[in-house]
Amino acid sequence: MHHASPLSVLSDDEKMFQSEIQKIANQVIKPKVLHMDETETMDPGLIKTLFETGLMGIELPEEHGGSGSSFFMAILAIEALSQVDPSVGVLVDVQNTLVNNIFLRWANKEQKAKYLPQLASQKIGSYCLTEPNSGSDAFALKARATDEGTHWRLDGKKIFITNAKEAEIFIVFANANPEQGYKGITAFIVERGTPGFSIGKKEVKLGIRASSTCEVILDQVKVPKANLLGEYGKGYKIAIETLNEGRIGIAAQMLGLAQGAFSGALKYAGEREQFNKSLKDFQAVQFQLAEMATMIEAARLMVYNAARLKDAGQPFVKEAAMAKYYVSDIAEKVASRSLEVYGGYGFIKEFPAEKFYRDAKIGKLYEGTSNMQLQTIFKLLES
């Protein structure tokens, strides 16, 4: 009888892929982390490497220049990159789990033929949903889409848009019929350089500082009719279904962060001496590390399980919300406790502990706050 291997077990291919990404992360990203954090910039050479290694088109079909791989592989990549820099993790995450995912599921043949090769090889994508008065209440969006016969006209403002500074292909959600409420929300493909489309202020953030978060301004932007994505009035469905998968991506980012913070603390505990013995010989420190390792193990099982369910075509929304909720919580705890293992050294920039600590907080806020995850989980308990 053939037994399916447990969800936590990685196949040889998956292990090999993960160690390849870890190698790239340690060789290419690690030396740049501190500088990128301080200057709040994503290194352009690094972005080039991400494209060259196929990490920006993991699930895209090979005929469009992608890697033709699975969602699970994308999750492994996000986790591995985030162990070194969660900013790079989220860049790859948004490209794969939000932007590419929308094109794969909702774009028509012409749109796929035009945009997928660009997304796989050189152009960063961005997902524009959030507005000043429309965060958790995503359907309160005010951006308008007006049918002007030969084209659509978009007006409005988006905020907190990840990757906006570097992106060249934007998926913009706007309401084409506000009288119909959320049933008027429609998705559009907008290219950088379109007249009236501009990037506003770039936010200065507590963490993931190398990842750009900007305003996107739509001032009478003319969008070709051919750039309506999915169907008219189906924008809310596209947004929600995409975010379900995106949550697993953010959970993977937070999992990588927790693992990165923990690995540093474990190593340091073996090197640091006090009272003539190494830190890891103190039972209090041993217990702290053991507890962190257990939290990370539980988190990893949740993330991998949600991703496997998604690839298997099984319902996964509850598991995705649980993973996002739980893993963002333990990432914050593990990052905090890891910092404490370093003592005073944890508080200074020389060690990565303080950066992981700052980077962790966003996990509870973006792609659905922790409260929104709990609401989703509760609704699905009853179904």
Strands 169-175 and 125-128 turn out to be parallel
Q: Which two tokens stand for residue 4?
A: 């399916």
CA-nearest of 160, 226, 223, 159 to 195 is 223
Q: What is the pLDDT of residues 34-92, one digit of tens each?
A: 999 999 999 999 999 999 999 999 999 999 999 999 999 999 999 999 999 999 999 99
Banded pLDDT at 138 (limits 50, 70, 90): confident
Co-location of 140 and 226 in the same domain? yes
Query: Is residue 114 domain-shared with residue 27, that is, in the same domain?
Result: yes
Least confident of 7-11, 74-78, 130-134, 192-196: 7-11
| Cβ pair 194, 218 in contact under 8 A | no
State which amino acid sits at residue 189. I
Whether 184 and 64 have beta carbons less than 8 Å apart is answered as: no
Residues assigned a catalytic role: 367
Q: What percent of the chain has pLDDT over 70?
A: 98
Dihedral angle of Cα 338, 339, 344, 347, to the nearest 10 degrees: 160
Share of the chain above pLDDT 90, in %: 95
Lowest mean pLDDT among 3-17, 66-80, 135-149, 200-214: 3-17
pLDDT in tens, 151-193: 999 999 999 999 999 999 999 999 999 999 999 999 999 999 9
Identify the CATH number of the domain in which residue 16 sits.
Answer: 1.10.540.10
Of 199, 192, 195, whose CA–CA distance to 215 is shortest?
199
Tokens of 261: 């913070």
Q: Could you tell me the residue range of the domain that residue 45 belongs to? A: 12-123
**Contact indicator for 249, 96 with CB cutoff of 8 Å:** yes
Residue at 36 is within a domain = yes
Asked whether the predicted pLDDT for residue 218 surpasses 60, the reply is yes
Consecutive H or E run containing 199: strand 197-202
Tokens of 120: 């796989």
Q: Are 150 and 28 in the same domain?
A: no
Q: 251 and 354, same structural domain?
A: yes
Q: pLDDT at position 274, please?
A: 92
- Residue 245, pLDDT > 50, answer yes
Structure tokens at 237: 């469905």
Q: Based on the fold, state whether residues 217 and 82 are members of the same structural domain.
A: no
Residue 7 is predicted with a pLDDT of 52
Q: Which two tokens stand for residue 321?
A: 């919300």
Mean of pLDDT over the chain: 96
Nearest to 249 by CA among 337, 333, 363: 363
Total tally of structural domains belonging to the chain: 3
CATH number assigned to the domain comprising residue 377: 1.20.140.10
Instruction: Transcribe 260-308 into DSSP letters.
Output: HHHHHHHHHHHH-EETTEEGGGSHHHHHHHHHHHHHHHHHHHHHHHHHH
Q: Are 247 and 227 within one domain? A: no
DSSP code string of 45-83: HHHHHHHHTTTT-SSS-GGGTS----HHHHHHHHHHHHT
The pLDDT, as a whole number, for residue 62 is 97
Q: What is the pLDDT of residues 109-121, one digit of tens each?
A: 999 999 999 999 9
What's residue 136's pLDDT? 85
Record the tokens describing residue 326, joined without a space: 């739980």
Based on its alpha-carbon atoms, the radius of gyration of the chain, rounded to whole angstroms, reads 21
**Does residue 158 sit in the same domain as residue 196?**
yes
How confident is residue 8, by pLDDT bands cut at 50, 70 and 90?
A: low
Predicted model pTM: 0.96
Report if residue 2 sits inside a domain.
Answer: no
- For the stretch 303-320, pLDDT in tens is 999 999 999 999 999 999
Last residue in a domain, options 84, 108, 123: 123
